[in-house]
Amino acid sequence: MWRYIKWGFSITVLLVVGLFLHYTLPQHDVVRIVNTYQERQDLGDWTRIFWSTPDDQASGLMNRDVQFIQAIGADGKPMVYRNEDTGWSWPPYFKFDTANLQTEADDLKSTAETPRWAMVTHYGWRNLYFSTFPNAISIRPVDDPTATIIPWFNIVFFVILAIILLMLRRMWLQFRERMLDPVAQDVAEAWDGVEDRGEAAAQKARGFWGRMKAWFGTFKGRPRR
Amino acid sequence: MIGFLRVAIFALIGLSVIYWLVSIYKRSTERERLEKHWDKNRPVAAPDRDAYIETGMAEYEKSLRRKLIWLVYVVPMAVVGVIIYIVNVQ
């Protein structure tokens, strides 16, 4: 029973952390830019969490214009990115160049007959049912749409994350070895002392009635101490 | 601007906590290293174990290794600077 609860808990935590990282970390697509547009978006419901908060003014707005980049992937599937500043808020991309990015995207527009491929770095999820869009971070032209992209940033990120986790573990072990264990040992020793003394005192204080009680106790089948 | 201040303040608090934890940890490992070194070598010049360790700790507090913990502040700030450059300028 407890085992299943523990497993369920661990899996839930792992899932939440994994989804969080998958949403936040950058990903790369090779696409052909088709068009860009701007559309007023309502921000009043719970999907607010998927839109950026580009500046402090924006946090109080119920709706505002958002820029979008329409693209067709190298595999032929459509993809729509939003193009929003992240500013100083989460996630920490510190993106301020939305207008420039829109210009670059406009510049890279091409048709199916004469495609110009571009690599879009983005974070976030495209979800049709909740109308969420990944946020484009940067666009740069590429020659070969089939080239393998090595996610250097994510590799470095996970290596550093692993180092930090190992460091935390070592710090905790060091703390336990140097701080908690000696205290626990002292307490255990002190406690043994108290118990010994207590026992001696009890033996001494037992007296006649105590001995009688202990003797009666033997009838109940309890071991005599 | 308020956004920048918010990030700066939270980063300062977070990094200070990390700095504090790391300095305690490194102090602890340094003390442990000194203890083990004394126990193993029994330096003739330093017959008193506590004095040896305290001298070593005082030296450590002035050492370069101690000062390198300031990288806890420097590295993340540099990383943020590089990210801002790569995302917006390049």
Q: Which tens digits make up the pLDDT trace of A68-99?
A: 999 999 888 999 999 998 888 888 899 988 89
The pTM score is: 0.75
Using alpha carbons, select from A68, A55, A37, A217 the residue that is nearest to residue A131. Answer: A68
The average confidence (pLDDT) of chain A is: 86
Q: Does A225 lie at the interface with B, CB-CB under 8 angstroms?
A: no
Helix (H) or strand (E) holding A144: none
Task: Assess: ipTM above 0.85.
Answer: no
DSSP structure string for A13-79: HHHHHHHHHHHHS-EEEEEEEEEEEEEEEE--SGGGGGS---STGGGG-SEEEEEEEEEEETTS-EE
Interface of A with B in 50-69 (CB under 8 A): 55-56
Distance from CA of B44 to the nearest CA of A (A): 27
Q: Does B28 lie at the interface with A, CB-CB under 8 angstroms?
A: yes
Q: Does B25 lie at the interface with A, CB-CB under 8 angstroms?
A: yes
Q: Is pLDDT of B83 > 70?
A: yes
Using alpha carbons, select from B63, B2, B69, B87 the residue that is nearest to residue A97. Answer: B87
Q: Is pLDDT of B77 > 90?
A: yes
Distance from CA of B65 to the nearest CA of A (A): 17
Burial class (CB in 10 A: 0-12, 13-18, 19+), B81: exposed
The average confidence (pLDDT) of chain B is: 89
Closest in B3, B29, B31 to A87, CB measured: B3
CA distance readout (Å), B18 to A109, A171, A215, B11, B50? 46, 11, 63, 10, 29
Closest in A89, A95, A178 to B3, CB measured: A89
> Is A88 close to B32, i.e. CB distance below 8 A?
no
Instruction: Characterise A125 by phi-psi region: left (phi > 0), alpha (psi -120 to 50), beta (else).
Output: beta
Alpha helices per DSSP H over A135-180:
152-175
Using alpha carbons, select from A66, A79, A86 the residue that is nearest to residue A30. Answer: A79
**Per-residue model confidence (pLDDT) at position A46:** 84
> For A26-149, which CATH class?
mainly beta
Q: Is pLDDT of A222 > 70?
A: no
